[in-house]
Amino acid sequence: MDNKDLEAEIHPLKNEDRKSQENLENQSKNEDNLKSMPLQSRLSRCRTVAFFLSLFICLFVVFVVLFIIPCPDRPVSQGMWRVDYNAAVTYDFLAMEDVNRDRIQDILFLYKDTNSSNTFNRSCADEGFSSPCAFVAAVSGANGSMLWEKPVAQDVVLVECAVPQLRDSEASSACVLVGSPSPFLAVDVFTGETLWSRPSSFSRNASILSPLLQVPDVDGDGAPDLLILIQEEKEVNGHIYSGSTGHQIGHRGSLGVAGESGSLLHVTRTGAHYVLFPCEGSLCGCSVEGLYETVTGRDGPFKKDPHWENMLNATTHRMHLHSSGVVRYLMSVPGKAGKDVLLVSSEACELLDGQELVPRWTLRTSQVLRKPILGHYRPDALAVVIENGTGMDRQILLLDLSSGAMLWTHTLPSLPGGPPSASLPTADHRSAFFFWGLHEMVSTNEMETGAAQHSLYMFHPTLPRVLLELANVSANVIAFDVVLFEPSRHAAYVLLTGPVSSDVPGLVSVTKHKVQDLVPGSRVVRLGEGSSDSDQAIRDRFTQLRYRSEA
């Protein structure tokens, strides 16, 4: 505090004295002003003119901006659209990106057909494939118009989008695809142009394990590089490729054990990169540094973690874990410090500490046959959605991620292989959840024939005793997601439906439906007593929901 203030606090009256003195001085000045009136009045008239003139100019500018210069055209977004292919099959893949840079998310998907849609008139033969072949397509999220599509391979076994690329020193994004039998290529997300294409070097018997992993830049070109795990002759091999050219770095590196899809790239709290994957009923792993040394024969830019090296058997690459059971899913989830690992096995769901790999909590349940998803049940606190069981007993459990405490549970029957759940953050720092289930009125007869329709339910934690049935779908759902197309209100679901078998072509459709348009026609499902609001009041609450983008 400076001295003046201090003094003022000690002698508040003195301060007031000074103020009244100032007032007196001001008064005497005003009296002086009154004496020089004639000159002043001429000046004040000038001032008035200047004031009105500038006011007029301001208003004129405002009117020009408001009415004469037109607003830039905002693309009109349709609440619902649908794209059909009559004799095609499709893949479990959907990606969102603003392809045409109109600030509305667009949709990328894959299908297998003889020709592309009529808009682009591309055939498999154009790229040297026999018919039918796999196409990548990008459709506008605003109105479903085709932005680009192109044949990429005979068949696609692995695809990953949002892979950063450096082209002409400009940051770009690519979808990397592994075709069967060949090629291995990257396609520019914004133009559909092929960035690079290489014949793939995998043997015919090899099975490629998903997903495609992105490791930090090892070849020094500024773009992340790619790691693919491939099972060749009952052994998993790691292959590292340059992300910007597709060239293989070194040779294949054997991990000495058979594995399955569902691998995960984990960064420990000490900054070491490890690949984890389900293997022969347990969890295996290896450091990216170790793998890099194996494939190139020299030291790489990565770290190893002494604790993790102790936990890994150097010959079998198996992890020494406290838990047992066949590993089904691995997920990297945000923890208190760095990432933790959520592990779903045939005996339990466990949250493992990302550094020590000891369980933070365990939920004993053997029936989890689907990869969990995350969302917020309480404001800013992550929750995990676990589906326990299939058929008539399927339960949806929402658990607090940090403690494993049960937050909400509901039995919602579903067929095995029904569409997956989704969540979308809302403006109140919670999430809206979307679950699929069989309609209550469905008969066991329909269930047996598999002809039953799936219903899409929406749930928000502020209305825990209510589900909103948004839609009924009888087609076979291949992929589903809920996406925020534009900030705030434009949340919509995207549904990819197609034939059950990839050998029998049929109708393939991509549909977008805005959530807010579905709410007025939805059915309110009450879960027990407790909510006295009318159906309309509940629908209004859902209509008023605002969404935010994942950050």
Binding interface with ligand NAG (CB under 6 A): 75, 100, 102, 114-115, 121, 123, 140, 142-143, 145, 203-205, 313, 315-316, 363, 365, 367, 388-389, 393, 395, 439, 441, 455, 469-472, 522-523
Q: Which is nearer to ligand NAG, 186 or 545 (CB)?
A: 545
Q: Which is nearer to ligand NAG, 29 or 364 (CB)?
A: 364
Q: Which is nearer to ligand NAG, 36 or 366 (CB)?
A: 366
Rg of the chain on CA atoms, in Å: 31
Q: Which is nearer to ligand NAG, 163 or 458 (CB)?
A: 458
Q: Which is nearer to ligand NAG, 50 or 392 (CB)?
A: 392
Min dist CB 45 to ligand NAG, Å, is 56
Question: Scanning the structure block, which residue is given the tokens 């590993």?
Answer: 327
Distance CA(300)–CA(479), nearest Å, equals: 38
Min dist CB 119 to ligand NAG, Å, is 9
Q: Which is nearer to ligand NAG, 307 or 439 (CB)?
A: 439
Q: Which is nearer to ligand NAG, 77 or 426 (CB)?
A: 77
Min dist CB 54 to ligand NAG, Å, is 41
Min dist CB 320 to ligand NAG, Å, is 8
Interhelix angle 12-35/37-63, rounded to 10 degrees, is: 100
Count other Cβ atoms within 10 Å, centred on residue 21: 10
At 283, list the tokens.
């969890």
Q: Which is nearer to ligand NAG, 133 or 223 (CB)?
A: 133
Helix (H, G, I), strand (E, B) or coil at 25: helix
At 507, list the tokens.
């109708």
| Order of all β-strands in the sheet with 373-378 | 373-378, 381-388, 395-400, 406-411
Element spanning 404, H or E:
none
Of 424, 421, 434, nearest to 471 by C-alpha is 434
- Cα-based torsion angle of the residue sequence 214, 187, 134, 227 in order, rounded to the nearest 10 degrees: -20
Distance CA(62)–CA(411), nearest Å, equals: 59
Min dist CB 404 to ligand NAG, Å, is 11
What are the residues whose beta carbons fall under 8 Å from the beta carbon of 445, sequence distance 6 or more? Answer: none
Q: Is the bond leading into 301 cis (omega within 30 degrees of zero)?
A: no
Min dist CB 486 to ligand NAG, Å, is 11
Min dist CB 202 to ligand NAG, Å, is 10
Min dist CB 284 to ligand NAG, Å, is 11
Count other Cβ atoms within 10 Å, centred on residue 376: 20
